[in-house]
């Protein structure tokens, strides 16, 4: 895949802390790339560095192979969808979408008219051209923000937690719409979120950040199944740390008799179970005192507290991370 | 306790408005003395036939309009710049300018102009008054606009830059249009402050540039003048209307 | 060059050229000698400053300070209940507040003149009282210190109401309920709870009233008939009749220094409110 955006040891240091610390990754043309991490990890600052709202302390930013870290925001061929959408309240939907094109016309860059209608159609907002931002719903405002950025055909679209202002049901709907949209237009998306489920479900590749550092980059399957650090393992889901290795609850099997052909097995005692709606988490205690959580369907779970059972899993489902103090 | 506050408030409002209302009532009085002798518009008529008053009004209007246009433009730009990045000495000096006693401001400007006239062959006149008014009105404008900008969403300008607008275009097409009600409010305030000024104006006006407040002052010192009553009512109503409009605009979202 | 630097230029030029520079020239003039027909000449001297210590001028300074102090205190006492009433008025708050501010923004000169119309010997009050046979000859209500104080209080009352209102409006009504719950009568609750909490507003208000009162010119001139001389009148006099510019400059700077002192003493509360 051809690289459209590359960060090389990009850093942003503030007097009090290092918001972004030597972050390097590359995004390919047409890729859906997520940047995920807890609040304060530096993902929004990274986004702002790419957009041009902050100047990096050191490092390089390459767009299509060209260095852009010295360019102001209005000269970079990237566009941002803000968390609060930042629609211009005094302009109609159509005028908002046309804003970038109008500026291009003024600044001597070629602007193709007629793209506004097409952009609105793409986000399913045809017919609302004359409305003002305060006359449309939150979800519709987000689509205007998308159309406004996409109509400029940027090399990369930067999305700053675009779904966090929506309620749960709308979020799920918009996730699918965003994915479809990205596939249709084929522009690279850099999607910033704190929700790991969102990142894993939408992305071609995911980058996890923590305290300004890039912890790991990879496909959703790769980072979930083989996390490289303890933080990544625990951020992306529940982990059982058993005998120096990590195993996901859904990878652990349980039986009353000793398993015959398991690569890994251990004896344990059932402690209890928690009903989570779509599954059950059964907690057990190993002989060496460690705790383990097993995920299973409700129908499979007829184990009582105090029962002696065997837990087993495949070696392939295990992962090991460098020994570090718990995050 | 319960009845005290409303009664007190009534009395306070009465205290605030009584002098103006009394003045207003007697401006329609058919007599020079403070005894009601029938309704008459004679004094209003007299105002319109008093050439000195009319000339003074003209001077005041010209000064106020020019000073307002200048101070509002300069002040809006300055407020915008201060909103983007604090400049301690400028903010401090504007604040000081606002609180300085008018007599000190007036005297300093008089002294300044006379010193300048050693090099330029000019005299005190409308131009010096206009410059003086721009100087002391600036702080009012900056305060009104800065207050508006404090409620402004900064991400709007970032969005504009992101979409390809340079700094000037972001200001021109996003911030300034949204600031317009505040700018008009500041201009109306500026006009009011300039039109009413006596102390500073009287010091830097020179011989042929009498303004309306200067004329009213002279008449007030001399004694009872019912024409001043009529004039006062007209000015109060006029300026009051401007202030109300300004307040309306300032609250507009 | 950044846009904001360009935008800052005109304003900076105005402040430097029409505010700071004039003050610097005043400073220079205060150390020169009086010219024959007004204006200044050499030699340099500090004579103007030493003249300030003449008992006549010290009396004027002192009078200005205590008139300003009394006016400020009266404003505070009179404005507080009004501000409290407006802060509690619910939906009509803004309207009531605007009604207080409206007279202030019309014309200070005209409002002062209105009082003259009421209080002069042939004014409304005297005429009314005489026609009701309460008094037989007009009372000298104008042209004395009391009239000046009245004029100042009337003129600057809105300046005290505004910051008081701003602080009182933020007061949590639950506090007064709590006080009542603990057995305090309304008056005690106000004195012990509301007044201390509204201190920032009171300080800002005193700042905004005391300073203009200290440098007042129009009010002592019109309401005091020129008989009550305050610093402002003294300064104006030096630049017109007395033609003693260096002395006038020195007194202006003294007034400015007093203003700065008060601003320092009362802290940054006023700036916050602005």
pLDDT in tens, C45-79: 888 899 999 999 999 999 999 999 999 999 999 99
**Residue labelled with tokens 């709870």:** C193
pLDDT above 90 for A304: no
Q: Determine the pLDDT at residue A298.
A: 86
Hey, which chains touch C, using 3+ CB pairs under 8 Å? B
Q: Which of A203, A263, A211 is nearest to A235 (CA)?
A: A211
Q: How far, CA to CA in Å, does B146 sit from each of A117, B142, B179?
A: 38, 6, 10
Cα distance between residue A60 and residue A67, in whole Å: 7
Of C274 and A203, more confident: A203
CATH class of A3-231: alpha beta
Hey, which chains touch A, using 3+ CB pairs under 8 Å? B
**Least confident stretch, A67-71, C34-38, C86-90, C92-96:** C34-38
Residue B228 is assigned to a structural domain of this protein: yes
Write out chain B residues lying below 8 Å of A159, CB-based.
none
pLDDT band at B2 (very low <50, low <70, confident <90, very high): low
Average pLDDT over residues B194-200: 93
Are B34 and C157 an interchain contact pair (Cβ–Cβ within 8 Å)?
no
Are A103 and B161 an interchain contact pair (Cβ–Cβ within 8 Å)?
no
Largest CA distance in chain C: 76
Task: Look up residue B239 and give its two tokens.
Answer: 């300026």
Are C113 and B232 an interchain contact pair (Cβ–Cβ within 8 Å)?
yes
pLDDT band at C274 (very low <50, low <70, confident <90, very high): very low
- Inform me whether the C-beta atom of residue A99 falls under 8 Å from chain B C-beta atoms: yes
Number of domains in chain B: 1
Instruction: Nearest by CB to A84, from B155, B164, B178: name it.
Output: B155
pLDDT band at A66 (very low <50, low <70, confident <90, very high): very high
Q: Determine the pLDDT at residue B252.
A: 63
Q: Determine the pLDDT at residue A138.
A: 85
Q: Determine the pLDDT at residue A321.
A: 87
pLDDT above 80 for A13: yes
Q: Determine the pLDDT at residue A259.
A: 82
- Whether the CB-CB separation of A4 and A158 falls below 8 Å is answered with no
Q: Which of the residues A72, A74, A87 would you substitute to probe the B interface, choosing the one with the greatest number of B C-beta atoms within 10 Å?
A: A74
SS (H, E, C) B213-230: HHHHHHHHHHCCCHHHHH
- Inform me whether the C-beta atom of residue A141 falls under 8 Å from chain B C-beta atoms: no
Residue of chain B whose alpha carbon sits nearest to that of C112: B19
Domains and CATH numbers, chain C: 52-273 (1.10.3720.10)
Are C85 and B82 an interchain contact pair (Cβ–Cβ within 8 Å)?
no
The CATH 2.40.50.140 domain(s) of chain A lie at 238-319
Q: Determine the pLDDT at residue B228.
A: 81
Instruction: Nearest by CB to C109, from B77, B216, B244: name it.
Output: B216
Q: Which of A82, A117, A79, A80 is nearest to A97 (CA)?
A: A117
Q: Determine the pLDDT at residue C270.
A: 47
Q: What is the CATH number of domain A238-319?
A: 2.40.50.140
The CATH 3.40.50.300 domain(s) of chain A lie at 3-231
Task: Look up residue A7 and give its two tokens.
Answer: 């960060």
Instruction: Nearest by CB to C259, from B93, B101, B220: name it.
Output: B101
Q: Determine the pLDDT at residue A327.
A: 46
Residue B21 is assigned to a structural domain of this protein: no
pLDDT above 80 for B34: no
Average pLDDT over residues B32-45: 80
Are B163 and A149 an interchain contact pair (Cβ–Cβ within 8 Å)?
yes
pLDDT band at A92 (very low <50, low <70, confident <90, very high): very high
**Residue labelled with tokens 């939408």:** A202
Q: Which of the residues B12, B113, B228 would you substitute to probe the C interface, choosing the one with the greatest number of C C-beta atoms within 10 Å?
A: B12
Task: Look up residue B189 and give its two tokens.
Answer: 């305030």
Using alpha carbons only, give the angle A207, A212, A215 rounded to the nearest 5 degrees. Answer: 40
Residue B8 is assigned to a structural domain of this protein: no
Write out chain B residues lying below 8 Å of C8, CB-based.
77-78, 81-82, 87, 90
Largest CA distance in chain B: 72
pLDDT above 50 for B78: yes
Residue B56 is assigned to a structural domain of this protein: yes
Residue B17 is assigned to a structural domain of this protein: no
Residue B44 is assigned to a structural domain of this protein: no
pLDDT band at B53 (very low <50, low <70, confident <90, very high): confident
Q: Determine the pLDDT at residue C213.
A: 95
Average pLDDT over residues B115-123: 87
Cα distance between residue B65 and residue B47, in whole Å: 22
Note down the domain range covering B140.
50-251
- Inform me whether the C-beta atom of residue B173 falls under 8 Å from chain A C-beta atoms: yes
Residue B33 is assigned to a structural domain of this protein: no
pTM of the prediction? 0.86
pLDDT digit string, tens, across residues A240-272: 998 788 999 999 989 888 888 778 888 899 999
Residue B32 is assigned to a structural domain of this protein: no
Q: How far, CA to CA in Å, does B89 sit from each of A282, B133, B147, C12, C16?
A: 67, 21, 19, 10, 10
pLDDT above 60 for C272: no
pLDDT band at A112 (very low <50, low <70, confident <90, very high): low
What is the 3-state composition of chain A as percent helix, strand, coil, each rounded to the nearest 5?
A: 30, 30, 40
- Inform me whether the C-beta atom of residue B159 falls under 8 Å from chain A C-beta atoms: yes
Cα distance between residue B107 and residue C240, in whole Å: 11
Cis peptide before A160 (omega within 30 of 0): no
| Helix (H/G/I), strand (E/B), else coil: A290 | coil
pLDDT above 60 for A325: no
Are B243 and C106 an interchain contact pair (Cβ–Cβ within 8 Å)?
yes
pLDDT band at B251 (very low <50, low <70, confident <90, very high): low
- Whether the CB-CB separation of A43 and A12 falls below 8 Å is answered with no
Instruction: Give percent above pLDDT 70 in chain A.
Output: 98
pLDDT band at C42 (very low <50, low <70, confident <90, very high): confident
Q: How many CB atoms lie within 10 A of CB B95?
A: 17
**Least confident stretch, A57-66, B144-153, C132-141, C254-263:** C132-141
Q: How many CB atoms lie within 10 A of CB A202?
A: 21
Q: Determine the pLDDT at residue C94.
A: 83
Are C15 and B138 an interchain contact pair (Cβ–Cβ within 8 Å)?
yes
Residue of chain C whose alpha carbon sits nearest to that of B14: C100
Q: CATH code at B103? A: 1.10.3720.10
- Whether the CB-CB separation of B56 and B214 falls below 8 Å is answered with yes
Buried b (16+ CB within 10 A) or exposed e, B43-53: bbeebeeeeeb
Instruction: Nearest by CB to A107, from B156, B158, B164: name it.
Output: B164
Whether complex ipTM tops 0.85:
yes
- Inform me whether the C-beta atom of residue B177 falls under 8 Å from chain A C-beta atoms: yes
Of C125 and A325, more confident: C125
Length of chain A as a residue count: 327
Q: How far, CA to CA in Å, does A14 sit from each of A22, A44, C3, C116?
A: 14, 14, 25, 63
Are B178 and A90 an interchain contact pair (Cβ–Cβ within 8 Å)?
yes
- Give A216's contacts (C-beta < 8 A, 6+ positions apart): A207, A208, A223, A227, A228, A229, A232
pLDDT digit string, tens, across residues C98-124: 888 888 877 889 889 889 888 888 888
Q: Determine the pLDDT at residue A315.
A: 86
- Whether the CB-CB separation of A53 and A69 falls below 8 Å is answered with no
- Whether the CB-CB separation of B8 and C85 falls below 8 Å is answered with yes
Instruction: Give percent above pLDDT 70 in chain C.
Output: 97
Task: Look up residue C131 and give its two tokens.
Answer: 């026609």
Cα distance between residue A249 and residue C169, in whole Å: 56
pLDDT digit string, tens, across residues A168-189: 888 888 899 999 999 999 999 9
């Amino acid at each position: 895949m051809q690289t459209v955006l590359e960060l090389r040891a990009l850093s942003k240091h503030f007097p009090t802390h290092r918001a972004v610390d030597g972050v390097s990754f590359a995004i390919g043309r047409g890729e859906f790339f997520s940047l995920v991490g807890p609040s304060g990890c530096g993902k929004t600052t990274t986004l702002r560095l790419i957009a041009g709202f902050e100047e990096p302390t050191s490092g390089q930013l390459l767009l299509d192979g060209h260095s852009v870290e010295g360019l102001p925001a209005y000269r970079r061929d990237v566009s941002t969808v803000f968390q609060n959408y930042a629609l211009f309240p005094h302009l109609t939907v159509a005028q908002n979408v046309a804003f970038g094109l109008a500026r291009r016309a003024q600044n001597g860059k070629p602007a193709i008219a007629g793209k506004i209608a097409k952009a609105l159609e793409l986000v399913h907002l045809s017919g609302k051209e004359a409305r003002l931002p305060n006359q449309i719903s939150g979800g519709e405002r987000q689509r205007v923000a998308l159309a406004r950025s996409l109509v400029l055909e940027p090399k990369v679209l930067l999305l700053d937690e675009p779904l966090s202002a929506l309620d749960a049901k709308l979020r799920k709907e918009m996730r699918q719409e965003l994915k479809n949209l990205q596939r249709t237009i084929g522009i690279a998306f850099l999607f910033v979120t704190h929700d790991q489920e969102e990142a894993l479900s939408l992305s071609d590749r995911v980058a996890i950040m923590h305290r300004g550092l890039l912890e790991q980059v990879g496909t959703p399957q790769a980072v979930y199944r083989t996390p490289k650090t303890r933080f990544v393992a625990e951020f992306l889901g529940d982990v059982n740390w058993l005998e120096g290795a990590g195993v996901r609850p859904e990878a652990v099997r349980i039986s009353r008799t000793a398993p015959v052909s398991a690569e890994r097995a251990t004896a344990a005692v059932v402690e209890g179970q928690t009903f989570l709606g779509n599954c059950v988490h059964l907690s057990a205690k190993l002989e060496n005192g460690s705790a383990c959580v097993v995920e299973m369907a409700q129908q499979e779970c007829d184990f009582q507290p105090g029962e002696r059972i065997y837990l087993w899993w495949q070696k392939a489902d295990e992962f090991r991370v460098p020994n570090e103090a718990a995050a | 306790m319960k009845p005290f506050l409303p009664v007190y408030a009534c009395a306070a409002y009465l205290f605030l408005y009584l002098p103006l209302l009394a003045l207003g009532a007697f401006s329609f009085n058919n007599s020079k003395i403070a005894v009601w002798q029938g309704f008459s518009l004679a004094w209003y008529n007299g105002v319109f036939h008093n050439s000195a008053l009319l000339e003074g009004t003209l001077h005041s209007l010209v000064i106020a309009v020019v000073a307002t246009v200048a101070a509002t433009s300069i002040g809006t730009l300055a407020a915008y710049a201060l909103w983007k990045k604090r400049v301690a000495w400028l903010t401090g000096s504007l604040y000081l300018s606002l609180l300085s006693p008018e007599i000190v401001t007036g005297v300093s400007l008089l002294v300044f102009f006379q010193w300048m006239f050693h090099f330029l062959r000019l005299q005190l006149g409308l131009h010096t008054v206009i410059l003086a008014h721009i100087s002391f009105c600036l702080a009012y404008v900056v305060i009104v606009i800065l207050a508006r900008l404090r409620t402004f969403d900064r991400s709007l300008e970032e969005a504009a830059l992101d979409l390809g607008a340079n700094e000037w275009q972001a200001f021109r097409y996003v911030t300034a249009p949204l600031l317009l009600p505040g700018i008009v409010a500041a201009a109306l305030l500026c006009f009011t402050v300039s039109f009413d000024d006596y102390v500073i104006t009287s010091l830097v006006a020179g011989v042929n540039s009498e303004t309306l407040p200067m004329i009213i002052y002279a008449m007030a010192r001399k004694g009872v003048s019912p024409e001043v009553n009529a004039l006062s009512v007209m000015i109060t109503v006029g300026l009051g209307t401007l202030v109300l409009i300004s307040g309306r605009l300032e609250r507009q979202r | 060059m950044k846009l904001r630097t360009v935008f800052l230029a005109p304003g900076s030029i105005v402040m430097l050229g029409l505010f700071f520079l004039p003050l610097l020239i005043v400073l220079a003039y205060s150390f020169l000698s009086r010219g024959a027909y007004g204006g200044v000449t050499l030699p340099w001297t500090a004579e103007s400053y030493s003249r300030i210590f003449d008992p006549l001028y010290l009396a004027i300074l002192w009078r200005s300070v205590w008139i300003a102090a009394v006016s400020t205190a009266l404003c505070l006492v009179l404005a507080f209940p009004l501000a409290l009433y407006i802060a509690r008025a619910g939906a009509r708050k803004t309207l009531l507040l605007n009604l207080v501010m409206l007279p202030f923004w019309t014309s200070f000169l005209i409002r002062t003149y209105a009082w003259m119309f009421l209080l002069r010997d042939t004014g409304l009050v005297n005429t009314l009282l005489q026609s009701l046979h309460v008094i037989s000859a007009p009372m000298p209500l104008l042209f004395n210190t009391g009239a000046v104080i009245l004029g100042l209080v009337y003129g600057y009352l809105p300046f005290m109401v505004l910051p008081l209102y701003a602080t009182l409006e933020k007061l949590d009504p639950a506090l007064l309920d709590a006080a009542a719950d603990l057995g305090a009568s309304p008056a005690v609750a106000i004195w012990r709870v509301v007044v201390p909490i509204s201190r920032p507003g009171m300080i800002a208000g005193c700042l905004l009233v005391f300073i203009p009162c200290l440098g007042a010119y129009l009010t002592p001139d019109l309401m005091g008939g020129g008989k009550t001389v305050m610093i402002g009148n003294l300064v104006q006099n030096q630049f017109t009749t007395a033609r003693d510019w260096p002395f006038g400059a020195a007194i202006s700077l003294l007034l400015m220094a007093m203003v700065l002192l008060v601003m320092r003493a009362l802290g940054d509360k006023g700036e916050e409110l602005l």
